[in-house]
Copies of this chain bind each other. A is one copy, B any other.
Amino acid sequence: MQERLTIVKVGGKVVENPETLTSFINDFSNIAGKKILVHGGGRSATAISEALGIETQMVDGRRITDAETLKVVVMVYAGLVNKNIVAQLQSLNKSAVGLCGADLDVVRAKKREVKDIDYGYVGDVVGVNVEQLLDLINNDVVPVVAPITHDGKGQLLNTNADTMASELAKALAMDYKVQLAFCFEKKGVLKDPEDDNSVIDTLDTELFQEYKAEGIISDGMIPKLDNGFAALKRGVDKIVISNTDGLKNGFSQGTNLKL
């Protein structure tokens, strides 16, 4: 039987607030077995951009990344957020290493071609260096991955953190029984955005299409779920969308994806 690997993507307000982040890191460090943490940090990037007078443009939950914005996301994601998480994990006696896609060439991407929209320095993942990740994981090191990739020609690129988590999950599904959790401040995918308790327990592709058409599921949740379903199709064992309480009880709550 394959060993379990838990990949947690954490984002949203959980990352922005030092208290919820510390509480999350504690819970994360208590998950048994091998694990990887993928983080966002979008709101900090927006705040720093604002302070630097750089305008933030979003399309369908994705950031348009010009050269100046790229600098900001590299600073905030791969620097500020990443290193603070690593330092906190070390304080809990977990060996951790902060990585962006360029480090050890773990995630390579291709700059997105301009079709209708010029996303700028946004990277679509083309390869995951499974061998390097396995080296770390098998040595009980926790990779803490920032959603920054590179093109192999010296250019850093901005990649959606949900996509990053999903790509890592898919790439490692041959070697481990992977469970992928998207953690944020809500209890799961909500049927009514105004009602925090209207969690959809199980979401299959058909229901997803239906809810999308009805506008029940919208914005940033769409790429998250697209990523989740893509990962399921590629052999990832379990996908759950939940708040951080999910970490404490073996991911038995929140929204489970099914094909």
Contacts and interface: CB of A to CB of B under 8 A. Distances in A.
Contact of A99 (B97, B141, B154): B97
Given A74-B80, A74-B83, A104-B97, A88 B154 contact: yes
Contacts of A150: 86-87, 90
A178 B204 CA distance: 59
A141 to B, nearest CB: 7
Nearest to A150: B87
A207 interface: no
Nearest to A85: B102
Interface in A56-105: 71, 74-80, 82-84, 86-88, 90-91, 95-100, 102-105
Contacts of A33: none
A105 B95 contact: yes
Given A75-B79, A76-B79, A154-B91, A86 B102 contact: yes
Given A75-B75, A75-B76, A102 B98 contact: yes
A62 to B, nearest CB: 20
Nearest to A103: B97
A152 interface: yes
Interface of A: 22, 48, 51-53, 71, 74-80, 82-84, 86-88, 90-91, 95-100, 102-105, 141, 148, 150, 152-156
